[in-house]
Amino acid sequence: MSGYHQSMLKKILLLTVSLFSAVLFVPNLAQATQGAFTPIQPARLLDTRTGIGGPVQKFGASESRSLQIAGVGSIPISATAVALNITAVNPSTQSYVTAWPSGSSRPDSSSVNFEARQTIPNSAIVGIGTNGSIDFFNAFGSTDLVVDVMGWFSGAGFNPIQPNRIMDSRRGVGTLQAKISEGETRSLLVAGTPGIPANAPAVSINITVTAPTKESFLTVWPHGSQKPVASSLNYTGGQTIANSVVVGVGTDGYIDLNNSFGSVDIIVDITGWFPSGSLTPVQPQRLLDTRTGTCGFKLSAGETRTLKVASGSPIPSANVGAVSLNVTATSPTTESFLTIWPTGSNQPASSNLNFVANQTIPNGVLVGVGSGGQINIRNESGTVDVLVDVTGYFDGTTPSGSTIVCPVPPPVILSIQPGTRLVGSEIPAGRYYFPYATDGCYWERLSGLSGNFVDIITNDFRSFNGQVIVDIAGTDRAFKFDSDCGILKTYIRPNTPVSGIAPGIWSVNGEVSSGTYRANAIYGCYWERLSGFGGNSNETISNDFVSSAGPIYVTISASDVGFSTDDECGVWTRIS
């Protein structure tokens, strides 16, 4: 296609393989059924920077090169198509790369779109042509090209066709000659188009968006079913970007495309179809979203996260060889890339998704299922949120293995300065504490902001130094505290109890263990066993005001929530 990227991206890091590296494929851990998709350990077939698969030389303007595929490494001579990840690196100008089977005419389509000095990947399922090769064409300027292979098809597992444009909203091809507006869904006929039978259950398409008016995302799913909570392609205003998508064919041979925000032109090229018994398409479903804590939190630099994909729904827990995914990186803090591979095998020297700081970018991934029905996702640098949507699976043998439980997100520790804070928008409901409250600390939970006494739900005034714990309810309007209280922080229960109970408010089964305690009190000592930290009088389980000096005792139950004691009581020591 003749469109170009219009984004403001910079060159980013791409995994570099040694000049002396050879193409070495590790046998796949999950073997798909004969005639379907055979996933392999991802391997690099071409790197024009280092001389893998060809000369150490950039592609020039209007230059085509053939790359031998069949018979290389573990890809058999009988392979009819391959799943590739194609990355353009450091191009000199805006351009695009097209991949197609050798021996056939170059199609009017693009596989990867990019601008000057941008590094960007896109996945593609490409048929293997004459003499087992695939051709690559660069339109303008010069660019390095990196090609990684994820697996291969044989027999009727995938039926590649000469890429064919079935939709172009700029020209009225397959749809109205108009941009897709905000929130609009359009249906697109795919079954029965040239090369695609009327009963095709799933297809491989390359979707390109161009000239979007604002940041948005596109969702693609089988027509006739409910729109899923998933994204197929993310983009920013003015950007041109493509992504490869595997999607089930819905009612009457149609698929649906929905644009979330603004308006955008959409181009769809169809590259082949999957027969029954090959890919089983599913309603797209989100398996991972680190922004919401769905299976963890942001991936840190060098971290590998394990994700169970064959979990029983929507992907069976057994007899699955590979899955079709859409992986999106969002809010990265620096230039980086993701690598995805089957759990239980070695990390490959390849990348699936490259990005720069603050970019949101997707890529389609076909990956073998590893030990326990899981895959690994590794982030190279900085931190990044990752979203994974599954769109289908291939039958095969799922390797056995233990399931690695998703990590629990670390608690968010808030530090809040003195003042009045609105509950919900300025301070979340929850449990907080003043680590270093001093004599004169005063706080209020408020139901309103009129300044009247009736707005006070509960309050407290401290006449000594010590820790204070307080619960803020979601129904509270605001929380107010003064400078004598110090900084208010999110309360995190400690793992180790204190050796003695000093003046303050403490958490039972946190800082304080249940048991019987002794203190040498003076006149005025006051203590409370508490069922909560809201400041309500009905939270007092028992209490005592000491009117004479001497030893005192209290038994704290394991069912108690807290214990409060003032400075006249001194330090309590546990005796049993």
Q: Indicate if the alpha-carbon torsion angle 90, 263, 361, 45 is positive or negative.
A: negative
Q: Is 340 helix (H, G, I), strand (E, B) or coil?
A: strand
pLDDT for the residue 482: 97
What integer pLDDT is reported at residue 405 of this predicted model? 72
Omega cis (within 30) before 435: no
Q: What is the rounded CA–CA span in Å between residue 528 and residue 520?
A: 16
Does residue 16 carry a pLDDT above 70? no
Q: Summarize pLDDT for 318-359 with one digit per residue, the tens.
A: 889 899 999 999 999 999 999 999 999 899 888 888 888 988
Annotated domain spans of the chain = 37-395, 411-487, 493-576
| Mean of the per-residue pLDDT values of the chain | 89
pLDDT tens digit string along 523-556? 999 999 999 999 999 999 999 999 999 999 999 9
H/E run at residue 133? strand 133-138
Per-residue three-class SS string for 472-493: ECCCCCEEEECHHHCCEEECCC
Q: What is the pLDDT of residue 402?
A: 75
pLDDT band at 472 (very low <50, low <70, confident <90, very high): very high
Report which of residues 430 and 74 the model is more confident about: 430
Which has the closest alpha carbon to 83: 300, 274, 254? 274
Do 128 and 80 contact (CB within 8 A), yes or no? Answer: yes
Kind of pairing, strands 456-461 and 385-395?
A: unpaired
Return d(Cα 359, Cα 494) in angstroms, integer.
37
Residue closest to 32 by CA, chosen among 314, 368, 325, 348: 368
Say which DSSP state 455 is in.
G
Q: Are 20 and 390 in contact (CB under 8 A)?
A: no
Per-residue DSSP letter, 373: G
Radius of gyration of the chain from its Cα atoms, rounded to whole angstroms? 31
Tokens of 340: 């995805």
Supply the pLDDT for residue 3: 36
**Predicted local distance difference test score (pLDDT) of residue 2:** 34
What tens digit of pLDDT does each residue of 26-74 get? 333 344 444 478 888 788 999 999 999 999 999 999 999 999 999 998 8
* Token output for 275: 């027969």
Range name among 18-27, 233-242, 293-302 with the lowest pLDDT average: 18-27
Plot region of 569 (φ>0 → left; ψ -120 to 50 → alpha; else → beta): alpha
Q: What is the mean pLDDT of residues 422-443?
A: 95
Rounded distance between C-alpha atoms, residue 404 and residue 73, angstroms:
31
Q: What is the mean pLDDT of residues 490-515?
A: 91
Quick one: pLDDT at residue 29?
Answer: 38
Average pLDDT over residues 195-199: 94
Q: How far apart are CA 127 and CA 221, in angstroms?
A: 24
- Whole-angstrom distance, CA of residue 509 vs CA of residue 513: 5
Helix (H, G, I), strand (E, B) or coil at 19: coil
Q: Is the pTM of this model over 0.85?
A: no
Q: What pLDDT was estimated at residue 477?
A: 96
Given this model, what pLDDT does residue 545 score?
96
Contact 485, 442 (CB under 8 A): yes
CB within 8 Å of 316: residues ≥ 6 apart: 310, 393
For residues 365, 366, 372, 374, the Cα torsion angle rounded to the nearest 10 degrees is: 0
Q: Is 267 within 8 Å of 3 (Cβ atoms)? A: yes
Residue 510 pLDDT: 87
